[in-house]
Amino acid sequence: MSEKRPPLEGEVYYPSPEVVAQARVKDWEALARRADEDLTGFWAAEAEELEWYRKWNRVLDDSDKPFFKWFAGAQCNIVHNALDRHQKTWRRNKLSLVWVGEKGDVRTYSYFALHRDVCRFANVLKAMGVRKGDRVTIYMPRIPEIAIAMLASAKIGAIHSVVYGGFSVDALQQRIEDSESRVVITADGGFMNGKIVELKKTVDEAVKHAPSVETVIVVQRTGHEVRIEAGRDYWYHDLMKLPLAQPVCATEVMESHDPLFILYTSGSTGKPKGLIHGHGGYMTGVYSTLKYVFDIKDEDRYWCAADPGWITGHSYIVYGPLLLGATTFMYEGSPTFPYPNRWWSLIEKYGISILYTAPTAIRGLMRFGESWPNRHDLSTLRLLGSVGEPINPEAWRWYHRVIGKGRCPIMDTWWQTETGMFMITPTPVVPLKPGSGTRPFFGQQAEILDEKGDPVPDGEEGFLALKRPWPAMALTVYRDPERYKNLYWSQYPGKYMAGDSAKKDKDGYFWVIGRTDDVIKVSGYRLGTAEVESALVSHPAIAEAAVIGLPHEVKGNAIHCYCMLRKGFKPSEELADEVKAHVAQHLGPIVRPEKVTFVDSLPKTRSGKIMRRVLKARAQGLPEGDLSTMED
Ligand code: WTA
């Protein structure tokens, strides 16, 4: 295919004949052309591969932009396609989930068993009064019950809001309050780095101020003692033993654009926003992208090592693999516990064929050297993936050479909570360049624009925008449609502004550089400066604070805080440590600042806005740029 065209520029890795031979789509350019010419035709054909209770009357209703309605008029439920329909085929006996705990305990679920437990828990939720449209907050470790809770809630038409287990009280409380959840599902803890993460304690604190919560359901994972409040808290295993927890439960019929979940994500200002994804479009987009990009086959054992609490886990641990009838692998703990070979030993022991992780994990493991992975047989691997932040070419080459033994193409997938599915990504046969997500997925077109919305020349940095609607696009921001419109669709009319800066090269390959707003990607986690700043000023010593992200070797970026002290407080090492601990306690260990610096003043505009870019430039010894709007 590619013999006749001029060679691509730069460091290029062409697919081997073996990779091409096993790829589902060999002529990706032809498919890309077809999807480009007939966007709705392409997506309708993808949707036809799934089951619908009622077919759509329009593939895409764009009469109320930017609130696009995919598969308008259709009825479906994502759980019907993820679980119910497999019961009719041989897949009911196939493994849906292989789970390993940090202590080495193993649990496996066939499609039959997962469906049974989801039905049983769905009946429990119903008995607890959960109805279609109700919100359910899920705050759990990486254990099978997190997937069961999500699927059970979706099955009965409730809306789940998963909060990542690495977040703490303030973050959880805000998210429960905003979603007005009636039920919180949690665990007595989870294992991470040999220690117990006290999830239940955090829930107890958070629900104190969340009057909507009627019920807390607690999964027993660690077996250590936790407080159980009579009349509010119930053990999961007790509920699942009740006669009402029948293994049969009808799946609720949903309109295509009925909400499936809320996922909170940090934005530029204020509190985190609850992005909403719906059943039909999301289901189709996630199914199709996972099918083409990771090219999953029945014999695969696919491992997405993210956490279900982030969009990557929603789309590509829980929903995507089940929609495809694949076997998905989940591991509870940390990659380096008890030794830095934990992941490699899991790949060997469970015969993982596809590994999808984040650059920060690769950089973290790379530090320990090649001897750890080299002690393990990694020959089952056939594809690798990367997500969450730009992958530096050095980490890419290590991943490719040491883990993939030069045989496994790396799918560098660029996308967002908002997009729900991969947006810029290769498929296995696309020639790769380390650090580039290559090109937009089938049917999508991307471009790099300047402030005014004009395309910048190839090779120049600008704002990344998407030109065409896609099925897994967020429906809106929960209870704030104006915010959705303003944040993403108002900068460049008709186009989606991603909030990233990027370049496009002469070959049409995209290179994402980083965020252009006040989102900081720390170890691939998406954090907002506003949340960290409000945690800082809740400390009695701090009057004002500004937060920026600065480059970090392993984490990608790290949080740096500049704080002005209140009268009577003096800067000291001890106070800086105390402030770091304060932030970690309020928001979660992943948000712990790298450095706290005490300052006498902060650079501000005359209207009083903190100029974070000035702080950032100063910290890195770079030019400070235009200072004309700065107050004296
Ligand atoms: C960044 C994660 C470069 C980007 C799925 C985006 C990436 C933000 C990549 C969304 C990638 C994600 N290369 N940057 N392959 N993937 N990003 O919502 O800045 O947690 O805007 O979704 O992560 O983060 P989110």
429-476 pLDDT, tens digit each: 999 999 999 999 999 999 999 999 999 999 999 999 999 999 999 999
* Average confidence (pLDDT) over 494-523: 95
* CA 69 to ligand 1 center in whole angstroms: 24
> Is the predicted pLDDT of residue 291 greater than 50, yes or no?
yes
pLDDT for the residue numbered 2? 47
Task: Tell me if 417 CB under 6 Å of ligand 1.
Answer: yes
Task: Band the pLDDT of 4: cuts 50, 70, 90.
Answer: low
Average model confidence (pLDDT) across the chain: 96
* Average confidence (pLDDT) over 199-228: 96
> Is the predicted pLDDT of residue 628 greater than 90, yes or no?
no
Task: Tell me if 309 CB under 6 Å of ligand 1.
Answer: no
Which residues on adjacent β-strands are paired with residue 411? 385
Task: Tell me if 500 CB under 6 Å of ligand 1.
Answer: yes
* Average confidence (pLDDT) over 487-513: 96
* Average confidence (pLDDT) over 572-584: 97
* CA 358 to ligand 1 center in whole angstroms: 10
pLDDT for the residue numbered 56? 98
Q: Whose CA is closest to atom 15 on ligand 1?
A: 414
336-380 confidence digits (pLDDT tens): 999 999 999 999 999 999 999 999 999 999 999 999 999 999 999
3-class state of residue 366 by DSSP: helix
Least confident of 120-134, 247-261, 595-609: 595-609
Of 565, 557, 616, 541, the closest CA to residue 591 belongs to 557
Cβ neighbours for 250, distance < 8 A, ≥ 6 positions apart = none
Of 91, 20, 73, 10, the closest CA to residue 459 belongs to 10
pLDDT for the residue numbered 268? 63
Q: What percent of the chain has pLDDT over 70?
A: 99
* Average confidence (pLDDT) over 204-212: 95
Task: Tell me if 169 CB under 6 Å of ligand 1.
Answer: no
What are the Cα distances from residue 15, in Å, to 19, 112, 400?
A: 6, 37, 13
pLDDT for the residue numbered 300? 98
pLDDT for the residue numbered 518? 86
Residue located via tokens 């965020």: 515
The whole-angstrom separation of Cα 437 and Cα 391 is 9
Cβ neighbours for 587, distance < 8 A, ≥ 6 positions apart = 167, 168, 170, 171, 531, 532, 535
141-164 confidence digits (pLDDT tens): 999 999 999 999 999 999 999 999
* Average confidence (pLDDT) over 171-193: 96
* CA 513 to ligand 1 center in whole angstroms: 10
* Average confidence (pLDDT) over 590-616: 93
pLDDT for the residue numbered 16? 97
pLDDT for the residue numbered 626? 84
* Average confidence (pLDDT) over 211-215: 96
pLDDT for the residue numbered 197? 96
Task: Band the pLDDT of 1: cuts 50, 70, 90.
Answer: very low
Task: Tell me if 425 CB under 6 Å of ligand 1.
Answer: no
Q: Whose CA is closest to atom 14 on ligand 1?
A: 389
Task: Band the pLDDT of 608: cuts 50, 70, 90.
Answer: confident
**Comparison of pLDDT for 518 and 585, the residue scoring more:** 585
The pTM is what?
A: 0.96
> Is the predicted pLDDT of residue 512 greater than 70, yes or no?
yes
> Is the predicted pLDDT of residue 304 greater than 50, yes or no?
yes
Question: CB under 8 Å, gap of 24 or more: what pairs does 605-609 form?
Answer: 605/629, 605/630, 605/631, 606/630, 606/631
